[in-house]
Amino acid sequence: MMLPEDDTEVELSLATLEALHQVSYHAAGLILAPEKARMVQSRLRFRLRETGLTTFEAYLALVRSDAGASERRMMISALTTNVSHFFREPHHFEILADEILPLAQSQIKRGGRFRIWSAGCSNGQEAFSIVMHLLDRDPSLLNADFRILATDIDPKVISFARAAIYPDRMIEGIPENLRTRFMEPTLVKGQPAHKMIDTVRHLIRFKELNLMNAWPMSHVFDAIFCRNVVIYFDGPTQESLWPRFHAALAPQGRLFLGHSERVGNPDAVGFVISGPTTYSKSQSQKSSTSSTYDKQGKTNGSS
């Protein structure tokens, strides 16, 4: 049965919120604190309507059940916050171009590769900002073994990012010279929009990936951007991620976090702070020859 159009009377009790929190926490590390009740209620009402259920208790039973696996994904998608914009926190792009790019250029000259990971990439603005900024500094990267992996738990943002078409209201942060070089004007439902040109699009691989699960990548990254993602996780979940990011980072690489995120005890993980919410491997870790890691993020010593 469909919910009536005015379904504002459908109430989410604190007990059901707590039970939904258990589901979202185990599935994606997402915290649904009691003070988020109104937000959860308003985001999940749409899912109730889509599934034809009339109470949050019935919805809870569905997402808890084996048969509810696909709805669980939709629930996580509805609960994630996908706010992002182009060239957010621009100091990280400067560090990338000033400190990592020169190393990558000499790596490339020796026949090596240059790899970046945007973890929690939302609609792709972060990954496309990285590409545009680096190609602006060094156009020859187009002919190098240079790739970006961009991942997110939310399938909706991944398909949006793959299409790479942004309504004009979303592209305000892009400097005009980069927009005219790397994007072409188009229309979406009659509204002005811009699409990334194919040469830029093909440098990025967008993939669905839940950071709580095993990471299937078998090589390390010269830079990892995981910005404004761990803020939605609790302390233990964040702490479980730091060693995994450490293992996934090349010896001279950088981990970039969002402005309100910190590695709690960087020393203990083998990180040092090397800029604003920027981490590099501590000296002893840099000499490590490990360049691959297993699925739980432990280095395996091969080079």
Looking at beta carbons only, is 83 or 268 nearer to ligand SAM?
A: 83
DSSP β-bridge partners for residue 275: 278
CA 121 – CA 157 distance, rounded (Å): 8
Which residue's entry shows tokens 């919910």? 3
Give the tokens for residue 105.
Answer: 């250029």
* Whether residue 205 lies in the annotated active site: no
Sign of the CA dihedral 101, 89, 121, 123?
negative
**Residue tagged active-site, from 73, 152, 201, 222:** 152
Q: Which residues bind ligand SAM (CB under 6 A)?
A: 28-30, 80-84, 88, 120-122, 126, 152-154, 157, 210-212, 227-229, 232, 258
* Whether residue 222 lies in the annotated active site: no
Looking at beta carbons only, is 26 or 113 nearer to ligand SAM?
A: 26
Looking at beta carbons only, is 3 or 171 nearer to ligand SAM?
A: 171
Q: Where are the beta strands (DSSP E) in the chain?
A: 114-119, 146-152, 165-167, 183-188, 191-196, 204-208, 221-226, 249-257, 271-275, 278-281
Instruction: Please name which of 268, 266, 264, 255 lies closest in space to residue 235, comparing C-alpha atoms.
Output: 264
Amino acid type, 62? L
CA 89 – CA 172 distance, rounded (Å): 14
CA 130 – CA 108 distance, rounded (Å): 18
Looking at beta carbons only, is 107 or 246 nearer to ligand SAM?
A: 246
CA 105 – CA 186 distance, rounded (Å): 34
CA angle, corner 94, sides to 90 and 99, nearest 5?
150
Looking at beta carbons only, is 180 or 213 nearer to ligand SAM?
A: 213
In the complex, the smallest distance separating the C-beta of residue 237 from ligand SAM, rounded to whole angstroms, is 9
Active site residues per annotation: 43, 152
